[in-house]
A and B are shown apart, each in its own frame.
Chain A
Amino acid sequence: MSKGYVALILHAHLPFIRHPEYDDFLEERWLFEAISETYIPLINNFSTLREEGIDFKIAISISPPLLCMLDDPLLQERYVNYLNKLIELTGKEIERTRHQPELNKLAVMYHDKYKNDLYIYKERYNCSLIKAFKELEDSGVLELITCAATHGFLPLLGIHPEAVRAQISVGVETFTRYFGHKPRGIWLPECGYIPEVEECLAENGVEYIIIESHGILFANPRPVYGTFAPIVSKNGTIAFGRDIESSKQVWSSEVGYPGDHDYRDFYRDIGYDLDINYIKPYISSDGYRVHTGIKYYSITGKTQDKLIYNPERANATAENQAEDFISSRIKQIDFLESKMDKPPVIVCPYDAELFGHWWYEGPYWLYNVVKKMTLINEKLGLITPGAYIDKYPIMQAASPCISSWGSKGYNDVWLNKNNDWIYRHLHRSAERMIELANDYLNADGILRDALNQASRELLLAQSSDWAFIMEAKTMVDYAKKRTQDHIGRFTKLYYDIKENNIDEEWLKDVIWKDNIFPDIDYRIFRSYNRCS
């Protein structure tokens, strides 16, 4: 038996971005980049570990918008087109760099990578990465969990319990639709915890959540083992708290592993570096320079004069950092084991897209962490939250503290002068949706279609991503536009329904555009509705 455990938990999420009304839409590339840089590398590495006979299991939450996008034929087709363009571009790069051996080697690396991605995506998984995750779950290496419907930040939606209930219930239903069983756990968007979530989690049979460190440390009564053991609330929700030390090792912008100078520089990209006439066919169709994914330089240091990226050196660094990560966990466990009456669990939750997209070597680092950790199993082992609950069902009763993993630990990121204007509309629209769901008990036909679409529009408006983007000051116009469009569409639907004047052609068009959650039932917003 291990003296202690590490629970690696990845949260995969992107906002629902799908624009069938345009042939090419810049922000759809977020999904395509994440597939090539994060999801396929992770799937490949997990498959390799399994083939190598490594006995491991980690938890991954896949958000409902991401599931719906991965399952969407239009986006699947566009991703294949994206790959074909990159294969064409990297082919040209091999030719362009033929007299620059170091760059040429990298061009070949990218060319091979994108060709392999195409094979994995089309041939191996028939364009369904959901199938890939399902296979890994069935083989016992992944514990898949869900997330709220559209990644709504629940602490700021909680003034309407029905809105919280809808976010959680639709999240559970979407997961169940794709994976054939209910999830044991849920990733609360941005680790945003409020007590109001617990009743609905219990109704949906969700056992556990992951929350920020102070969500556990400020709990009532004080958890005796800090973040190193889960607590159970009076409603039966089990909360695991993020470990502070391991978070800093990975997340810290100053000392975190991803900032090592040997690693690939995210920002230097040929989409910005090369002549516009050469690169134009591979950037945004309206001429905006964008990241292509072809990056030739390492971080190097605080300089524009970057060294050419050396994959072998970067991988060696990743291996060393994996060993450092493990040795730090062993030190933690060596200290904790004598202070606890059960093995501690060090909870390490990360955004999945950190691995590969932002930190190119991240998937290889993770591969090494998993592999090396399983070889020293007597000192520490990998575990999932579900497995820890099964092994150690005796836990302290305590109520978690309201918290999030955002800057300053509460709601600041999603509520500040850059984005506070959205809440008036989100809250009022929630009240109106509850009113509609209560008034129309058993609608059918076009009325039901309109009510269901109103639910979709409200859920899409509630996505935490829009407030985050407004605060982060990148792509702000798009985030504002999405909020305005969804609230605007919801408001028109509200009045059309109330006035019994549904515009059928317009409704058809909106359903075509915002096609998330095809099976949604607007009655999920009823005041008296129970989640089950």
Chain B
Amino acid sequence: MSQGQTGSQGSLPVSYNQTYIRIVPKDPYVIYSYWEITTSTRMDFQGHFGHPLWEKSSPALKIHDLSGDNYSYIKINDQSDHCYINFNRPGCMVKAEIGRLVSDQFFISFAGSNVVQMPNNKIIPDQQACFIDINQSKSIRTRVDTDQIYEKYNFHDVSGILGPSSPGYPRFADGIEHIQD
């Protein structure tokens, strides 16, 4: 027996029948978001604000930069259920909402996401270093000049730091891979 022949017992849910939005960082610059908006949420909106406002408004994500205390909107379409958002604020805390954007100033929110921290992408400027004896929880304030280590190993060059990739296995340069018959 081989791939794909395991007996399926149960299958992936097509819908979770709940309006929600979740976000996770892909890297320091990009957020992945997915969501679901139920028919019931749509009916509630239309019942409350009327059908024309649904048609007039745009589906959108409101992205909150919690570290900078500001936000921005990203228009989506009614058929989509996920997207990648170019955010480009390494290190900040982020939250998203999904809803309808009626005007530049008027957003009706259906659901809020979890909060995530975007990864950092650079060396933090030099600061006072604190050393601790972990056996005694004793801290020793000190300052050590390390520029030579960082310069010697070119640690400031981010492209040199990131790599080589390790998971899986290297396809070494001259090995010839066979194609299955």
In contact, B131 and A394 (Cβ under 8 angstroms): yes
- Return the contact of B124 from the options A219, A226, A258, A301 (Cβ within 8 A): A219
A205 interface residue per 8 A CB criterion: no
Of the 9-residue stretches B1-9, B52-60, B63-71, B104-112, which lies at the interface with chain A? B1-9
Inter-chain CA distance A488–B11, complex, in Å, is: 4
Q: Which A residues are CB-close (under 8 A) to B25?
A: 155, 402, 410-411
Inter-chain CA distance A483–B12, complex, in Å, is: 9
Q: Given known contacts A25-B1, A251-B170, A259-B172, is B119 in contact with A402 (CB within 8 Å)?
A: yes
In contact, B1 and A156 (Cβ under 8 angstroms): no
B78 interface residue per 8 A CB criterion: no
Q: Which B residues are CB-close (under 8 A) to A238?
A: 134
B121 interface residue per 8 A CB criterion: yes
In contact, A253 and B130 (Cβ under 8 angstroms): no
Residue with the greatest number of chain A CB neighbours at <10 A, chosen from B7, B126, B148, B163:
B163
In contact, A396 and B130 (Cβ under 8 angstroms): yes
A77 interface residue per 8 A CB criterion: no
Q: Given known contacts A218-B123, A261-B174, A267-B175, is B149 in contact with A395 (CB within 8 Å)?
A: no
Q: Which of A72-88 contact B (CB under 8 A)?
A: none
A244 interface residue per 8 A CB criterion: yes
In contact, B165 and A423 (Cβ under 8 angstroms): no
Number of A-B contacts (CB under 8 A): 277
Of the 9-residue stretches A56-64, A163-171, A314-322, A471-479, which lies at the interface with chain B? A471-479
In contact, B165 and A406 (Cβ under 8 angstroms): yes
Chain A residue at smallest Cβ distance from B125: A222
A102 interface residue per 8 A CB criterion: no
Q: Which B residues are CB-close (under 8 A) to A289?
A: 178, 180-181
Inter-chain CA distance A425–B81, complex, in Å, is: 13
Q: How many residues of A contact B (CB 8 A)?
A: 121
A405 interface residue per 8 A CB criterion: yes
Chain B residue at smallest Cβ distance from A243: B153
In contact, B9 and A489 (Cβ under 8 angstroms): yes
A51 interface residue per 8 A CB criterion: no
Q: How many residues of B contact A (CB 8 A)?
A: 77
- Return the contact of B13 from the options A301, A354, A406, A425 (Cβ within 8 A): A425
Contacts A259-B170, A491-B12 aside, 4 further interface pairs with beta carbons under 8 A come to: A244-B160, A248-B163, A256-B164, A411-B24
24 sampled A-B residue pairs with Cβ under 8 A: A27-B2, A218-B124, A221-B126, A221-B129, A224-B129, A252-B170, A253-B171, A256-B164, A259-B170, A284-B2, A288-B2, A351-B169, A353-B169, A393-B133, A395-B134, A401-B119, A409-B163, A424-B81, A428-B16, A481-B3, A485-B8, A488-B9, A488-B12, A491-B13
Q: Which B residues form the contact surface with A (CB < 8 A)?
A: 1-13, 16, 22, 24-28, 32, 34, 36, 81-82, 114, 116-117, 119-135, 139-140, 144, 146, 148-150, 152-153, 155, 158, 160-178, 180-181
Q: Which A residues form the contact surface with B (CB < 8 A)?
A: 19, 21-22, 24-27, 155-156, 159, 190-191, 194-195, 213-214, 217-226, 228, 232, 236, 238, 244-245, 247-248, 251-254, 256, 258-259, 261, 265-269, 272, 276, 284-286, 288-289, 299-304, 306, 335-336, 339-341, 350-351, 353-354, 357-358, 389, 393-398, 401-403, 405-413, 415-416, 420-421, 423-425, 427-428, 464, 468, 472, 475, 477-478, 480-485, 487-492, 506, 509-510
